[in-house]
Amino acid sequence: MKKIIYIVSLAMVSIACESRTYEEISDKTPIAELVTYNKDVKPIIDANCISCHSLGGLASFQPWTGYNQVKNNVDKIIDRISRPTGDPQKMPQGGSLSPSQITIITRWKADGLTEN
């Protein structure tokens, strides 16, 4: 009897477990139009980066308050926001951008770093 209960319990646990990949749970919303700094990237930077990357912030030595500053650092930004959770150099510190926000920034680079 114990063997049957064990087998049934094991079967129920096996069926109840679900494993999904990052690709299955990530936001796959296609970006249909040209990504621009002012329309798409600036709001992400303002909401997530400016508190440190501006005058008086912890990273004020590397401000990202304007188009040229962000454009000139786009490779570093993409590297840091794309790092895995737990990496001490992942940005923003204490959180993470959503997959769609990361896609917008990488797409902006791919689209030619357009300002307007």
More confident residue, 66 or 23: 66
Model confidence, pTM: 0.72
What is the phi-psi region of residue 3: left when phi exceeds 0, alpha when psi lies from -120 to 50, beta otherwise?
alpha
CA distance 77 to 74: 5
Q: Which domain holds residue 63?
A: 26-110
pLDDT band at 30 (very low <50, low <70, confident <90, very high): low
The Cα–Cα gap between 100 and 69 comes to 22
Is 17 within the bounds of a domain?
A: no
- Domain count along the chain: 1
Residue 100 lies inside a defined structural domain of this protein: yes
| Identity of the amino acid at 24 | E
Q: What pLDDT score was predicted for residue 95?
A: 86
